[in-house]
Structure 1
Amino acid sequence: MSDSSRDTAEGAGWGEAERGAYRRLMPDHVEKLFWFDPGTMWAARNGVLASWFGDPTGRTRGRWVAGREAAGAPADKVIRRHEGERFSFMVIGDPGEGDDSQYAVVPGFLKVSQGTDFAVITSDVIYPVGTTDDYGPKFFRPYQDYPAPIYAIPGNHDWYEDLGAFMRVFCDDAPPLTPEPKPRPLTRAWWRTLLWHRPRPADEELLAQARKLRATPEQTAVQPGPYWAIDAGPVRIVGIDTGLLGTIDAEQGAWLREVSRGPRPKILVTGSPLYVDGAHHPCPIEGGGTVDDIVRDPAHHYVAAIGGDIHNYQRYPVDVDGRTIQYVVAGGGGAFMHATHTIPRVSVANVTEDDFRCYPLRGDSLAFYSRLYGRRLRLPRLLTLTAAEATAVITERLGIRPGRTPTADTPVTRRARLVATLLGTGSRPDRGSRFRLPVKKIYTQLFSPGSVSYSPPFFKCFLRLDVTPEAVRLRCFAATGNRPQELDPPVEDEIVIPLA
């Protein structure tokens, strides 16, 4: 097995390494996603409108679900597979930018996924707005050689065109939505409807050609709607749709409570992680309660909750009344990287820094962003830190054991401390933090999507889960964009989850 980022800097993708062969998989022309383009920003406005004028996602989702049931989808929304007592599946989150960072994941994904029975995409299948015409280069083409079915739960970006393309691709060409009654003039709903981004007409010939890339019977996956459950072997995998704003509607909440009952061990897959960046986000349910209330209920037997949306890997082993539930963030499947060096020293739900795992390591994240800002601001000599410098200053700043031991002779200089402060290391409110560059909320919402790196290391990742009657073995594999990690994807984290 090759070195991981916890072993060496080369294992993390730093240094002079042969670039991966992933570019051979890419289309001849790749349109780079630039979020500051006025057309893109205007097309992606629905999330903002929902937060201002009320979120219509629940009603729209209900209409989609009703249409699928009328077309013959199972009312319980359970997909029953027959893998036997032992099976394996893949999880990949937030993949669909269609550029280098997405395709760099594919060679390692195909290698590690050999022998798996299906895959699940958790959140944001397609960027920027879930358009039908984007499914060719951002879904069908990259995963054309994965021989098993792929199921998905939508993310907020898939909802920017009312989920129409998602439903067509994953839900057996679901019938079009029935129109809603027009709202009363000058109400909040009226303003929202007036400004709402509507789906653009699809190029049907383009979609038909794209479908041929994953057209074998073994690759076919039909799911009953945007939320579903899969009964496979000894476990039930429950996928929920958190829509535009990271919540679920009352109808889906009632279904979740019902499908969670019973002694079968369960794994939740959600577009909004319940623990992330050192904080708890239990995910409210319309009408009362939270998703995490359901996950924590011992009668429901959840052993893990895996969420997308945040583009890195994190794991929180939370003790709930004497049993451990693994809360995982797994959104590093292809989109731009969310920083991990901004995560403070972890202390949440009795999970300490020693229990917490993340990828990329905080030092690698800081080195990556220092290099990115050095290029963008044309101040490379001031801002760029080596991986060793970044690891050393992270260790000092947060008072933690480094994920990778820094070189003994690497000093922590004033410049390194300044860069760490500017780039928001650990989000500590220490002196000078007011001068941070926008690496967290502002950066990830605005600047970061426009600053995607097109050269390795990319710090992408995906999961493989191997299930037996006794346990689930969960492994996080890295994809850097370099050839060594393509040939032998390193394991960045591994945990065996008992099912007893």
Structure 2
Amino acid sequence: MVSWFDPFMLVKMALRAAFSELIGRQADRRLLDALEAPMTEPSDFSVDANGGLREEVWFDYVADLGDGWNSTYSVALAVSRKTLTLRDAAGLEYETRGGEILVFGGDAVYPVASVNGYEERTLRPYAAALRGQRPPPHLFAIPGNHDWYDGLTSFVRLFCQGRHPAGLPTRQRRSYFAVKLPHGWWLLGTDMQLESDIDAPQVRYFQAIAAQMRQEDRIILCHAEPAWLWPQVRPPGDRTDLENNVEFLQSRVLGKKVSVFLAGDLHHYRRHENHEGRQKIIAGGGGAFLHPTHIPRKEFQLADGFTLRACFPSIAASRRICWRNFGFLWKNPRFGVFTGILYVLLVWPLMADAGVGSVSSETSSPLRGTALLDPVFLLVTAVLMLGLIGFADRRFGRLRGLAGLLHGLMHLTAALLIARGTTLLAGSVLGLPFPSPQRDLLCVALIFLGGFFMGPTIMGLYLLVSLNAFGAHPNEAFSSLAIPDWKNFLRIHIDRDGRLWIFPVGIRRVTRAWKPASSVDDPEWVADPRDRRATPPALIEPPIVIERSAAPPRDAGRARVSK
């Protein structure tokens, strides 16, 4: 899994993201692709190879993948099977088939897009999982923000130029697509870029697609991000354009034909439903680290009448998982190196004047006297405080400045106490003279070790309290844990009667031990039976069934939310 609190990786990613956003504003790659690939017809899966009408079709939706091997490969292995028997909580079993279509629903690689990144983190797991299995499905993909961090160059090269990444045939020529399905169903995927913006050629493309639809046709609409949840989970005033663009597409272009909205970006499963049976489903569990489900704290009823029906993991489990931040250092040792160096820089100007016994009592401790007025100490302290106030989540609202200040004071207090203890040990206990190289080396080493352990511990405590008490820092509090478990994807079936079946597939604990397969007819790697804690794919909730007439699904009105 990506170590999101690795300072070096964060700096590299921030620079790439800033560069991509600047380039995206000045030279939108989608406009160039529209010129190179003029208006294209939808990919038609409503007919078979002989031109006859298809009676049914299966396809899979996987979003937010390409992070850790164990998580990505566990999902790929489930997707690749010819058949997959799924059991729900009541013990009912459903026989499902591997899809003819595979949809990557955004953020197909982490932390930033590159050809090598896609190959190593995404395509290799899928190529290994599909070996010796069913015929490879046709791949369609939409980009998320991480796919855009190289200006969409790698995404277009792999998925929009007729290549066969991981042996998967591709048909789309732009970063958005339309697929015609049996019985009047359509599958559409959009590209909202980094600015949550829909470009004019894309609007014209979907207008042309909509003109081919009949009045009774229905749409499954894929976005990389869940616009319907942004007002609740995003900080105030953050990225409202996405919701406006989705509403524009739905009301002005697609004409209220959308029965199912699909999105990723949030790395969990969450389903909302309205009284008409329309579905809004987040299924971002393709391989990336887990996101919490216990925020927002008051979002069971969305503003547009959609009610929360299910989530995975449960709200209670999500809250418990957050307590793992007490072990922040275990998951983020490089962050400990950073805080160790920071603590040394913070208190060393004081230590230089903090002799023990050989100097006056005023300067014998870095915790008192004129030492605290050292200009270098004050400068580093100011940078620390301002940095942590800026880091504080806008979800704190008016308490943001206070939250950042308290966080900074915790680090400052810890650093000063470590410095005080180091001074006493060096002078009073060990009797090392001041100044001396031995004393300096010992003090630097002990302060670094203190910062290595205390800095991450304080950060973990801050993230735990922020999320569980205030609903702030949901991304940071769970990215720090790099949890590969609680994965999910959607298996979707249009049956012979035109009904749409959505099977939400969850993997509670992914496999962590693998062994080479004994046959070339098997996937390249199979689960090692010694990993007895791994769990098989299972239904998160009973399948959602939408009638061709868009009537409410069979399980409408029954909430399955564990609190």
Q: TM-score, normalised by structure 2?
A: 0.58
The structure whose residues are more often helix, as a share, is 2
Contact 1:313 1:360 in 2 (8 A): yes
Of 82-91 and 436-445, the range deviating more from structure 2: 436-445
> Are residues 77 and 96 of structure 1, via their aligned partners in 2, closer, same or farther at CA, if it must alter by over 3 Å?
farther
**Correspondence for 1:358:** 311
**Correspondence for 2:246:** 291
Gaps of 5+ in 1: 1-30, 70-74, 175-210, 379-423
Whole-Å Cα distance in 2 between the matches of residues 293 and 86 of structure 1? Answer: 31
**Correspondence for 1:117:** 100
Give the count of matched residue pairs: 367
Whole-Å Cα distance in 2 between the matches of residues 489 and 38 of structure 1? Answer: 38
Cα deviation code 1:133-187 (max 9, x no counterpart): 112222222112342122110111011001111111111269xxxxxxxxxxxxx
Counterpart of 2:43, as a letter, is I
Counterpart of 1:242, as a letter, is M
Counterpart of 2:325, as a letter, is Y
CA drift at 1:495: 1.0
Whole-Å Cα distance in 2 between the matches of residues 66 and 493 of structure 1? Answer: 44
Counterpart of 2:170, as a letter, is A
Whole-Å Cα distance in 1 between the matches of residues 261 and 233 of structure 2? Answer: 13
Counterpart of 2:101, as a letter, is F
**Correspondence for 2:290:** 337
The share of aligned pairs that are identical, in percent, is 22
**Correspondence for 1:193:** none
CA drift at 1:271: 0.6
SS state at 1:260 partner: helix
SS state at 2:538 partner: coil
CA drift at 1:32: 4.5
Match of 1:315 among 262, 268, 271: 271
Q: Which has the higher contact order (CA 8 A, sep 6+)?
A: 1
Contact 1:105 1:334 in 2 (8 A): yes
Whole-Å Cα distance in 2 between the matches of residues 350 and 291 of structure 1? Answer: 13
**Correspondence for 1:80:** 44
Contact 1:248 1:284 in 2 (8 A): no
Ranges of 4+ aligned residues in structure 1 off by more than 6 Å: 280-286, 426-430, 433-436
**Correspondence for 1:475:** 503
CA drift at 1:232: 2.0
Of 136-145 and 88-97, the range deviating more from structure 2: 136-145
Whole-Å Cα distance in 2 between the matches of residues 129 and 337 of structure 1? Answer: 18
> Are residues 290 and 485 of structure 1, via their aligned partners in 2, closer, same or farther at CA, if it must alter by over 3 Å?
same
Contact 2:20 2:148 in 1 (8 A): no
Counterpart of 2:543, as a letter, is E
CA drift at 1:272: 1.5
Whole-Å Cα distance in 1 between the matches of residues 177 and 506 of structure 2? Answer: 28
Structure of larger gyration radius: 2
CA drift at 1:466: 0.6
Whole-Å Cα distance in 2 between the matches of residues 231 and 80 of structure 1? Answer: 5
**Correspondence for 1:421:** none
* Structure 1 residues 29-178: aligned runs within 5 Å: 32-48=2-18, 55-56=24-25, 59-69=28-38, 75-76=39-40, 78-81=42-45, 82-83=47-48, 84-111=54-81, 112=84, 114-144=97-127, 145-146=129-130, 147-172=136-161
Contact 2:34 2:201 in 1 (8 A): no
Counterpart of 1:136, as a letter, is E
Cα deviation code 1:249-281 (max 9, x no counterpart): 233233334423432211101111132278499
Counterpart of 1:341, as a letter, is H
Counterpart of 1:273, as a letter, is P
Whole-Å Cα distance in 1 between the matches of residues 306 and 170 of structure 2? Answer: 40
CA drift at 1:105: 2.2
Gaps of 5+ in 2: 49-53, 85-95, 131-135, 331-392, 404-461, 512-531, 550-563
Whole-Å Cα distance in 1 between the matches of residues 58 and 33 of structure 2? Answer: 30
Counterpart of 1:275, as a letter, is W
Q: Does 1:491 align with 2:491?
A: no
Contact 1:280 1:348 in 2 (8 A): no
Question: Root-mean-square deviation (CA), in Å?
Answer: 3.6
